[in-house]
Structure 1
């Protein structure tokens, strides 16, 4: 990424940063004075705190980050719940936008490139059955929400695991059912006779019972695994 800062002079940027750090101005007020966004001024503050005045100087070169640093920063943000600002300061990242791009790449199964020209491929989205999603969720919860462990064990992306866990905790096992295509099917229900509609409802109840049975099976399986690990 280019580290080009803005059209403002070094002295203007430095003065704005120092005013905020010394409590003479807020980020919002300082940004309005210079006609820049709050994120831009925040980025200057991070650069100044990490590299001093040199961090505020104009640069027309691309800054490269080691792939290990990218992964560590992303994991600190996702798993250790550091804020974007904390991660940027800790790893000397030029802006929150850079960190957000890495996080988006990681959670969507894309590649975080190395400075050597190689790359590390994250787990891509893959198709799963309801039973697989349920098992993955139970495994993740049992491992204290270790999303990376679930990724490695089941070959799915971070965003998939995270989404399934959130849905399960919010709405229960039914939220893991794939409802794509159901709206089209539901449009035809009104055209069915009462007997046909009743038959459909019975089939839905049977399917729900099967879901409950599947959940019970995986809960027992999980309990057995936990008992084995404690012995």
Structure 2
């Protein structure tokens, strides 16, 4: 079977209705929509329980508390149903979410509160910060078990920016947090290795430009050849 197509809510509802109205079997729907049998069966089960809203698209992930996750996991171990049954009962969009919580529980990993806070990821990364502030932010993040989301919300900095600062700090220390944008060494400040690296980059850039020019020239020549070459006439066999 090829790549699964993305279907709209309307199409998913149509598939469920086709089966529930006994107009088509699951096998026929599998062939018609190129969707695997397990997925269609899951959709039908969810649709029977929750109706069309089970397919509602969410712009961001739902918020789940630690206690809620534990309740869901315990319900599964108590034999209250399959992964799909539990997902339906607690209105969790995907049974794979339930499966991931169970896996963490079995691996003795802590089930933590989850609050997506999508606005944290949308913050402007361009806010100017001094080196001392970046060090303070990174230290807070590390002291709180690399909780990038909490740090981003507290200091009004994007999640991505804090993640990058922490990586730089762990690899280069406080020097890695110096903002070097717009700072370029002069030729006299470069070491011999750095001079060679700069020359190599320049040659690579020039070579790339030449390759692009040659490719463009070939395309132009091909267009001209097609435009002015006489059309061949072929005789039909009689």
Smaller-chain TM-score range? 0.3 to 0.5
TM (norm. structure 2) is 0.40
Structure 1 length-normalised TM: 0.41
Which protein shows a greater Rg?
Answer: 2
